[in-house]
């Protein structure tokens, strides 16, 4: 695939933004222009980036932050401790549902990509205080996205914090049931911040490329994460990366992916591609409406379905 082919697919799928709406339950995200669509593809075989459309527009990473924070938690604690705290099961419940912890008498959140699991993951990040923990997350995101310009979006952070009562209830429930350790307000402050950093589709494609490339950054050949953690995280992305749309996406598209309500999508095709997409209008499941359509077409064009 070349740039012109990608531009054509962006043009073909742009109108799908009209079928969705921006995440208006977070006031700062409600202000984002829905008429945007961009994509970046890191081609591992040819060591090149293909990008078109709004691929360098900065947007809030939101739930895609759950991937790098999980990877950092694994670096800090090891796989065994992380997955003693958080399960790896898919869920049929909403991403912010308390049922992701209480069903079948579970003693842990069902997976790291539902909100309860993500908050538990954040609680495992090493650091002296909330500021230190977030600084470590931010530094890791800059490294794995190869993007030194990633910064905290203060407006989105404050908006997330003001509207985050369900996340507070999940965190206090976990604390009260000995599922997590640490100070709940501190953990939540870090969590709200990690969701509020500004990234681009290009940076997300590079993050996905590290996952696709067995933990090695293809631009400098550095082993940023272990091969085992890259494999496990891609597996969880396949079963739980797109909220309640995960199963249908795996059947019809067939690549490990993670979404965020800022309109981002990341896909990691093992040994082949890292992909980043941005379009802020969301479908009923909370995934990018035009982004899903574009990613579906690109995967078909590249014959990238891992189940083929």
Strand extents, DSSP E, the chain: 38-43, 48-53, 59-60, 151-152, 197-199, 216-217, 222-223, 257-259, 264-269, 273-278
pLDDT of 102 strictly over 80: no
What token pair was written down for 265?
Answer: 């999508």
Q: Are residues 80 and 120 in the same domain?
A: yes
What is the per-residue pLDDT for 103?
58
Q: Are residues 247 and 275 in the same domain?
A: yes
**C-alpha span between 96 and 26 (Å, rounded):** 14
191 is annotated as an active-site residue: yes
pLDDT of 32 strictly over 90: yes
What is the per-residue pLDDT for 244?
81
In the listed set 195, 218, 251, which residue is the last one of a domain according to the structure? Answer: 195
pLDDT of 105 strictly over 60: no
The answer to whether residues 199 and 145 touch, using CB atoms and an 8 Å cutoff, is yes
* Residue 43 falls inside a structural domain: yes
Which of 271, 281, 264 lies closest to 302, judged by CA? Answer: 271
Which of 242, 100, 239, 105 lies closest to 171, judged by CA? Answer: 100
* Residue 305 falls inside a structural domain: no
Q: Are residues 178 and 65 in the same domain?
A: yes
Q: Are residues 265 and 280 in the same domain?
A: yes
- Choose, from 17, 191, 273, 285, the residue flagged as catalytic: 191
Q: Mean pLDDT throughout 42-49?
A: 97
Number of domains in the chain: 2
Q: Are residues 190 and 210 in the same domain?
A: no
235 is annotated as an active-site residue: no
173 is annotated as an active-site residue: no
What is the per-residue pLDDT for 220?
97
Which of 237, 185, 188, 234 lies closest to 211, judged by CA? Answer: 234
What is the per-residue pLDDT for 97?
63
pLDDT tens by residue, 215-266: 999 999 999 999 999 999 999 999 999 988 898 999 999 999 999 999 999 9
pLDDT of 48 strictly over 60: yes
pTM comes to 0.95
CA dihedral 118, 124, 129, 132 (to 10 degrees): -80
Annotated binding site: 63, 115, 160, 167, 191, 243, 261
Residue 104: give the domain boundaries: 61-195
> Angle, to 10 degrees, between the axis of helix 66-77 and the axis of helix 227-240?
140
Domain at 213, CATH number? 3.40.710.10
pLDDT of 28 strictly over 70: yes
Q: Are residues 186 and 157 in the same domain?
A: yes
pLDDT of 30 strictly over 60: yes
* Residue 308 falls inside a structural domain: no
261 is annotated as an active-site residue: yes
pLDDT of 5 strictly over 60: yes
What token pair was written down for 170?
Answer: 């999940």
Residue 260: what are its φ and ψ, rounded to 5°? -145, 150
* Residue 218 falls inside a structural domain: yes
**C-alpha span between 57 and 236 (Å, rounded):** 28
- Choose, from 16, 17, 157, 243, the residue flagged as catalytic: 243
Q: Which of residues 32 and 26 earns the better pLDDT score? A: 32
Annotated binding site for substrate: 63, 115, 160, 167, 191, 243, 261
243 is annotated as an active-site residue: yes
pLDDT of 108 strictly over 90: no
- Choose, from 55, 63, 229, 259, the residue flagged as catalytic: 63
- Choose, from 57, 65, 66, 114, the residue flagged as catalytic: 66
What is the per-residue pLDDT for 243?
82
Q: Are residues 39 and 133 in the same domain?
A: no
Q: Are residues 80 and 116 in the same domain?
A: yes
Q: Are residues 88 and 173 in the same domain?
A: yes
* Residue 207 falls inside a structural domain: yes
206 — pLDDT class (breaks 50, 70, 90): very high
**C-alpha span between 122 and 136 (Å, rounded):** 11
* Residue 307 falls inside a structural domain: no
* Residue 171 falls inside a structural domain: yes
* Residue 267 falls inside a structural domain: yes
What is the per-residue pLDDT for 100?
60
């Amino acid at each position: 695939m070349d740039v012109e082919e990608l531009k054509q697919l962006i043009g073909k799928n742009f109108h799908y933004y009209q079928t969705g709406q921006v995440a208006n339950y977070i006031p700062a995200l409600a202000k984002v222009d829905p008429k945007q669509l961009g994509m970046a593809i890191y081609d591992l075989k040819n060591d090149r980036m293909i990008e078109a459309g709004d691929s360098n527009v900065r947007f809030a990473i939101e739930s895609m932050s759950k991937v790098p924070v999980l990877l950092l938690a694994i670096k800090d604690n090891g796989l065994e401790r992380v997955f003693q705290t958080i399960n790896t099961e898919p869920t049929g419940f909403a991403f912010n549902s308390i049922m992701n912890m209480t069903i079948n008498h579970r003693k842990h959140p069902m997976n790291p990509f539902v909100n309860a699991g993500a908050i538990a993951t954040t609680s495992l990040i090493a650091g002296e205080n909330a500021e230190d923990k977030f600084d470590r997350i931010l530094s890791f995101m800059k490294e794995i996205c190869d993007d030194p310009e990633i910064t905290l979006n203060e407006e989105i952070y404050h908006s997330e914090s003001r509207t985050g009562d369900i996340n507070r209830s999940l965190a206090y429930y976990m604390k009260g049931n000995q599922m997590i350790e640490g100070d709940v307000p501190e953990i939540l402050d870090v969590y709200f911040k990690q969701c509020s950093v500004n990234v681009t589709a290009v940076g997300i494609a590079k993050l996905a490329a590290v996952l696709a490339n067995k933990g090695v950054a293809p631009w400098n050949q550095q082993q940023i994460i272990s091969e085992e953690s890259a494999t496990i995280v891609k597996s969880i992305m396949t079963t739980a990366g797109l909220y309640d749309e995960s199963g249908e996406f795996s059947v019809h598209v067939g690549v490990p992916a993670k979404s965020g309500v800022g309109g981002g999508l990341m896909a990691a095709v093992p040994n082949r591609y890292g992909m980043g997409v941005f379009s802020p209008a969301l479908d009923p499941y909370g995934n990018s409406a035009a982004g899903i359509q574009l990613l579906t077409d690109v995967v078909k064009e590249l014959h990238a379905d891992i189940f083929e």
